[in-house]
Amino acid sequence: MTTEVPEWAAETARSLRYPLIFATVSGAHLYGFASVDSDLDVRACHLLGADLPYVPDLIAAKREAEHGPLPAGVSALLDREVPRLRELLENARDCSSLPDEPAPGVVPALHDLVVSTRLATV
């Protein structure tokens, strides 16, 4: 299934610091039963500057054989890359200045913003 991407979403994706590999709406919006106060669940994956020159080839292989077996050599690549990438992610997490929990009041404020935006566009 393909859907038209709103220009504001495309602009946001293009402005990201790292290339976006994949993004999708999930939850109530995906299933078509969102209400005015439904939050907007977006799932995305992007490259964080890691050396991953093989990603375009993996994406192409996935498109060619969506439900088929792993292409030759991918298992060995994953055996090598998963521990390396896990270490990169864990190091990034440990160096992050992001708090473990949002500041008090942030979640309700975000909820109010989403609801008011949805009400304005309904």
What is the per-residue pLDDT for 38? 76
pLDDT of residue 83: 93
List, for residues 35-59, the tens digit of each pLDDT value: 777 777 777 787 666 677 887 788 7
Give the DSSP letter string of the chain.
---PPPHHHHHHHHHSSS-EEEEEEETHHHHT---TT---EEEEEE--S---TTHHHHHHHHHHTTTSPPPTTHHHHHHHHHHHHHHHHHHHHHH--S-SSPPTTHHHHHHHHHHHHHHHH-
pLDDT category at 4 given cuts 50, 70, 90 is low
pLDDT digits (tens, 9 = 90+) for 62-106: 787 777 787 888 889 889 999 998 998 898 888 888 888 888 888
> What's the confidence (pLDDT) of residue 49?
67
Q: What is the pTM of this model?
A: 0.45
Contact 46, 18 (CB under 8 A): yes
**Residue 75 structure tokens:** 């298992």
Residue 1 reports pLDDT greater than 60: no
Domain boundaries, the chain: 7-116
Q: What is the model's pLDDT at position 113?
A: 87
pLDDT at 3 exceeding the cut of 70:
no
CA-CA distance, 122 to 118, in Å (whole number)? 6
